[in-house]
Amino acid sequence: MQGMSPIVKNITRLVAGFIVLFGAYIVLYGHVTPGGGFTGGVILAGGLALVVLAFGEAFARNVLTHEVAKVADSMGALLFLLVAVLGFAGGVFFTNFLPAGTLGHLVSAGTIPIANLGIGIKVGAGLFGAFLALAAFRRTTGAGQERADVLQSHS
Amino acid sequence: MDPILWILLALLGFMLIGSLIAIETRDLLSSVICVGAVGFGTSLVFLLLGAPDLAITQVVVEILVLVVLVRVVITRRDETHATSRSTLPVGVVLLALGVMAAVVFGVLASREADEDLRLAPFGRPRMTRQVDAAALAPAGRPDLAPAGTEPASVGGAYLKHGLTADEASRGSGAANYVMGVLLDYRAYDTLGEATVIFVAVIGAYAVLRKVGRSRHAGNESDR
Amino acid sequence: MTLAMLPFMLAFLLLVAGLYAIVAKRNLIKVIVGILVLDYAANLLLVLMGYRTPPVGKAPVAPILTGGWAQAEELAASAVDPVPQALILTSIVIGLSVTALVVALAVRLYEKYGTFDTELMRNLKG
Amino acid sequence: MAHLVPLLVAIPLAGGFLMPLVGRLTGRRRSAAALPILLAAGVLVLSVWLLLAADEPLTYWVGGWDFPVGISLVADGLSRLMAVVVATISLVALLFSIDYMARFTSPGLYYGLFLLMVAGMNGVVLSGDLFNMFVFIEVAGIASYALVAFGTESDELEASFKYLVLGTVASAFLLVGIALVYNVTGHLNWAKVGEAIQTAGGAPLPLQVAAAFFLMGFGLKAAMVPFHAWLPDAHPSAPAPISAMLSGVLIKASGVYALARFVFSVFDGDPALGWILVVLGVLSMVIGALMATGQDDFKRLLAYSSISQVGYVVLALGAAAVMRARGVSPTVVGLAVFGGLFHLANHAVFKALLFLCSGSVEYATGTRQLKDLGGIGTRMPVTGACLRVAALSISGVPPLNGFWSKLFIIVALVLGEMYVLAAVTAVVSFLTLMYYAKVQRYVLGGEPSERVTRAREAPLGMCAASVLLAVLCFGSSLMAVPAVRRRVLAPATEAVTAGVQAGRQGRTITVERDKAAPTDSRAAAVEPLRGGSPRPPRAAESLADGTAGAETRRAEPLARRAALDVGEAP
């Protein structure tokens, strides 16, 4: 897959940063405004998927590889689990052991923002990885391969 | 008559028709696009019913699903879909099941005998009722119950205590109650949910491996 | 039967439609479409059950505190139920996960058979 | 001690999250199995300790929310028994995987999925919350869909697809059931739902509809006839250790266990539900056995036999519910439940062993057709002996464990005056004996084919795993001995027969909020409840003065820190 036309590439250049930024915002402010780790993570994955679709396989191979996505996936999940296990510090599993803080501030609601961050990383990386594996530039093997390749060069 | 109910019914009708088209159309691409429309309809319903979190999530999830599905369908031409017929007569089955659905909920709605445990109708969830707080104490520990009344469902309790100005009641501290429920009261669920998506992603990696097994590699006892 | 049960019934019909697609259709993509519809229907049923009709002339109140402490009591008395929303959020993600996996399976099956049609596959005919 | 309960989920979960990373380091070497085996052994030790150390049921409120707004983990006798069964079979299956999975690629993904499936099952059996149970059923289910397709051959992919689709339908039914339950009772905690139903004096119509959805959902997960269509494809297609896990524990954890919880702890052993269980159980038993008789594929035969054997368990539980409602003596009811749970544990052991043996045989010969396997017992003496033990055990030959559990079930049915059911059970036992005699004849006797003469005994790890389970086939008969029984199975039986009462027993573990509050400690523990209470404890007062009520409080020292933080903020 070579990527799309220059128009798409340029617009993506303009927009992608904002999408990723927006995703990060949704992740971080999930406890204050609508949104949260999952939503933000999906937005992150969507923004990255847009970049890959626009710029093609080479970009995904050199910058945002499958491997990076896998590592970030595990790390995000472990971060969330860590928040859960650290709950023992407050008494039992999953205790929200940090102070509640001021209502409506970024640093409030105890562990919720950290958990959101972990989930955001996890979901963003995981879905992006799945997207790469599924849709972007799958090298097929077996029966349907030739036909699939021919069709891919069309799109 | 509540205008929201009318809008809701129209949306649900639209979704029902959309999903029937998605199911019945011959062309896989149109099918996928129709189901995408139904998904966006779901998102609108969420927005209409005071669930902006869900609406945002549904939209972004829908976009991702749609991108993947469309890509899967358009890069794989399937000439054989002429045989993709249904084996059961469409109308009969749908009619029968539809009647069943109507009967189920009609019967549920018509039973007024037992005020305490009946299906709460649309727009009046159970939490709008108050019960003796003892009913909400942990099972087997009525001694933990406070005095007075409480909303009759867990959701009402979250709303009442999740974040009241009276600091005696401990809430999650999250202005977004849904997030408070999701990541504090029911954070354990969310851990499970994060696990689900992790499992699905590595499961997809596993399924999409180029070589699943290599009978002759790596094992000297193999023949 | 009251009008107030009508939304539940429509959501239930949607569930039936999804079920129908899964049972009767002989195409992997159609089955996936059925799974998606089934998910939508179950989620809709949940959100409908948490809805609280606002006072006449007002919009439904989302369970998000925007106006500071002063508003909390009022919100508690008027907002829709946050629990089904939290459950649906989980359920949407589960649906997404299942979809990711099932699409991966469908893609692999396409590679093996060159078609999405289950009639042409060995074990999925029944 | 009580903190073990969440660790049983957290440990395999952490392992599952780590394995894809570890797998990249180890590559395809067998050492990839080291971490999972270590963790599974740890989980086994913890769960056995939990089973033996504590007598009373524990209710553990995750996050410290004692008010039933949080999620509770319940470790009563039944949950503990299931946790031990899950841990045992998963450890053995992992041992078996070391060599068996060397033929497959990406061990990191395999072990990751495996551990996450274990975490999901532990989550299911320990959960005290309907929706939480649903989520963990999904975790275990999705991991198993992927594992069934792990070989990525077309029949595996097809089986996985079918399994996934039916599993998703089951999940949708469960979700609808949960929605109805929440709508009607306002609770998700099953103990509270059970209490609400009991207060109302029986389940009202909407909850009966919900019950129908739950039955269909759990029935699909447990592969009860007529919801069994996916199992005969999915279980044989999976790699052998996964087949052992699926047949041995997964259908029990997310199917039978959930059904038992739901019928007894939520619906208080409603006799109508009991009869439905009896019917499903008998159908599964008979049809599973008949279908198994006609199979030539070794693993398919085992899969149908799983349907049949799980039918025993469900029948015993359903009969217990019926007898309980009829006023039969509690001893007999207890005996039926005891027999059912005993058979559940036994079936986990011998069916896992059978699947592992079939895996060894397939590993050595490359075929699963019974007719091609003649004389394999002489070429593979260890596997052959284990296979013989398992086959005798499942056919109910004394003194192996299968005999005892079937005996208990039949005796309980006779004592409960359900003679027809007892007769059916006996007949199905005879059928079981028949088709396992066929297995023995084909596999162990007969002229070795050319394929078989080339076969060699399976590698050490696989043999060790099989032998372990074969020993357990003898060993678990000990559970019938009164001393062991009191310790292991009696609490589980008690948890089932207690019905709704089960949710009210035992110790509650949660965070003691507001320890510094000078008011009496009981009131402090209730703190989350007191939304409209006239005056907060003193510690809170000082906070309120300083910060104009701008923050909520947590445990005292933290609250002070919060006060500091907030003091600077405005």
- Shortest Cα distance, chain B CAs vs residue D239, angstroms: 11
Cβ neighbours of D146 in A, within 8 Å: none
Helix, strand, or coil here: C61? strand
Chain A residues 22-41 within an 8 A CB cutoff of chain B: 26, 30-39
- Shortest Cα distance, chain C CAs vs residue B181, angstroms: 6
CA distances B214 to B146, D148, D237, Å, are: 64, 17, 17
Q: Has residue B11 been placed in a domain?
A: yes
Q: Do B200 and C100 touch (CB under 8 A)?
A: yes
Nearest to D172 among C15, C123, C126 (CB): C15
Vertex C71, ends C66 and C73: CA angle to 5°? 130
Q: Has residue B19 been placed in a domain?
A: yes
Cβ neighbours of A142 in C, within 8 Å: 111-112
State the virtual CA torsion across C60, C65, C68, C74 in degrees, nearest 10.
50
Q: Has residue B143 been placed in a domain?
A: no
pLDDT for residue B165 = 44
pLDDT for residue B170 = 52
Q: Going by DSSP bridges, is the β-strand pair B149-151/B130-132 parallel, antiparallel, or unpaired? A: antiparallel
Q: Has residue B96 been placed in a domain?
A: no
Q: With 0-12 CB in 10 A as exposed, 13-18 as middle and 19+ as buried, what is D155?
A: middle
Cβ neighbours of B122 in C, within 8 Å: 4-8, 48-49, 51
pLDDT for residue B174 = 67
pLDDT-derived band at B140, boundaries 50, 70, 90: low
- Shortest Cα distance, chain B CAs vs residue C122, angstroms: 15
Q: Do A134 and C89 touch (CB under 8 A)?
A: no
User: 3-state SS string over D453-466?
Assistant: HCCCCCCHHHHHHH
pLDDT-derived band at C123, boundaries 50, 70, 90: low
- Shortest Cα distance, chain C CAs vs residue A140, angstroms: 7
CA distances D386 to B18, D393, D402, D469, Å, are: 57, 10, 15, 8
Q: Does C36 touch chain A (CB under 8 A)?
A: no
Q: Do A101 and D561 touch (CB under 8 A)?
A: no
H or E element, residue D176:
helix D154-185
Cβ neighbours of A103 in D, within 8 Å: 550-552
pLDDT for residue D432 = 92
Mean pLDDT by 10 residues, chain D (570 residues): 83 90 78 88 91 81 72 88 93 92 87 94 91 94 93 88 93 92 87 84 82 91 88 90 92 91 88 92 93 89 93 93 90 92 92 92 85 81 89 87 91 91 92 88 75 81 92 86 83 84 74 42 35 31 30 32 30
Beta bridge partners of C117: C27
Q: Has residue B184 been placed in a domain?
A: no
Q: Which residue of C has its CA nearest to A148?
A: C111
Q: Do B153 and D182 touch (CB under 8 A)?
A: yes
Single out the residue of C103, C116, D131 nearest to residue B155, CA to CA.
D131
For chain D, list the contacting chains (3+ Cβ pairs, <8 Å). Answer: A, B, C
Chain A residues 39-78 within an 8 A CB cutoff of chain B: 39, 42-43, 45-46, 49, 53, 70, 73-74, 77
How confident is the model over B23-79, as pLDDT tens digits?
Answer: 888 888 899 999 999 999 999 999 998 888 889 889 989 988 998 888 888 877 665
Cβ neighbours of A141 in C, within 8 Å: 111
pLDDT for residue D66 = 63
Q: Do C22 and D152 touch (CB under 8 A)?
A: no
* Residue whose token pair is 């359903």: D318
What residues contact B138, with CB distance under 8 A and at least 6 apart? Answer: B144, D59, D61, D66, D67, D68, D72, D191, D192, D508
Q: Does D443 touch chain B (CB under 8 A)?
A: no
pLDDT for residue D525 = 36
Helix D381-395 × helix D460-475 angle, to 10°: 30
Q: Has residue B213 been placed in a domain?
A: no
Q: Does A133 touch chain C (CB under 8 A)?
A: yes
The residue among B6, B88, B178, B205 with the most chain C CBs within 10 A of its CB, best to mutate, is B178
Domain that holds residue B61: 1-76
ipTM, two decimals: 0.89
pLDDT for residue D521 = 33
Q: Do D566 and A74 touch (CB under 8 A)?
A: no
Q: Give φ, ψ of C37 to 5 degrees.
A: -65, -40
Cβ neighbours of C83 in D, within 8 Å: 182, 188
For residue B115, pLDDT over 50 is answered with yes
pLDDT for residue D145 = 94
* Residue whose token pair is 């080339």: D454
The residue among A134, A147, A152 with the most chain C CBs within 10 A of its CB, best to mutate, is A134
Q: Has residue B109 been placed in a domain?
A: no
- Shortest Cα distance, chain B CAs vs residue D9, angstroms: 10
Whether the CB-CB separation of D452 and D376 falls below 8 Å is answered with: yes
> Using CA atoms, how far apart are residues D519 and D42, in angstroms rounded to an integer?
42
Q: Which residues of C touch D (CB under 8 A)?
A: 15, 18-19, 22, 28, 31, 35, 38-39, 41-43, 45-46, 49, 69, 83-84, 87, 90-91, 94, 97-98, 101-102, 105-106, 108-109, 112-113, 121-124, 126
How confident is the model over A35-47, as pLDDT tens digits?
Answer: 778 888 888 888 8
Helix, strand, or coil here: A108? strand
pLDDT-derived band at B10, boundaries 50, 70, 90: very high
CA distances D360 to D302, D380, D383, D448, Å, are: 14, 9, 7, 17
Cβ neighbours of A115 in B, within 8 Å: 183, 187, 190
How confident is the model over C37-94, as pLDDT tens digits?
Answer: 999 999 999 998 888 888 777 778 888 777 766 777 777 778 888 889 989 999 999 9
What end-to-end distance do the CA atoms of chain B give, in Å? 76
pLDDT-derived band at B145, boundaries 50, 70, 90: low
Total length of chain A: 155
What residues contact A31, with CB distance under 8 A and at least 6 apart? Answer: A108, A109, A112, A113, A116, B173, B174, B175, B176, B179, B180, B183
Number of domains in chain B: 1
Q: Has residue B102 been placed in a domain?
A: no
Q: Do C92 and B90 touch (CB under 8 A)?
A: no
> Using CA atoms, how far apart are residues B78 and B75, in angstroms rounded to an integer?
9
Beta carbons within 10 angstroms of residue D437's beta carbon: 13
> Using CA atoms, how far apart are residues D473 and C93, in angstroms rounded to an integer?
41
Nearest to B218 among D59, D102, D197 (CB): D102
DSSP state of D104: B
Cβ neighbours of B52 in A, within 8 Å: 34
> Using CA atoms, how far apart are residues A113 and D362, in angstroms rounded to an integer?
51
Q: Does A36 touch chain C (CB under 8 A)?
A: yes
In this prediction the pTM is 0.89
Both tokens of D520, joined, read 């009496």
Q: Which residue of D has its CA nearest to A77?
A: D17
Nearest to D551 among A88, A95, A103 (CB): A103
pLDDT for residue D309 = 93
